[in-house]
Amino acid sequence: MTTKKADYIWFNGEMVRWEDAKVHVMSHALHYGT
């Protein structure tokens, strides 16, 4: 089963295109998994 990717997502308080939403590698959530 394939999941359809959203065109826009909520990111940093605004709606942005999926392709433009970047998370820094040192982000707390990525570092600690929380």
Work out the average pLDDT over 4-32: 83
Higher pLDDT: 18 or 31? It is: 18
Phi, psi of 14 (to 5 degrees): -150, 160
Higher pLDDT: 20 or 33? It is: 20
Work out the average pLDDT over 20-34: 73
Phi, psi of 9 (to 5 degrees): -135, 160
Average pLDDT score over the chain: 82
Q: What's the pLDDT at 7? A: 94
Phi, psi of 33 (to 5 degrees): 70, 30
Place of tokens 């998370």: 23
Give the SS3 label for residue 25: coil
Place of tokens 């295109």: 17
CA atoms of 9 and 25, how far apart (whole Å): 19
Domain boundaries, the chain: 1-34
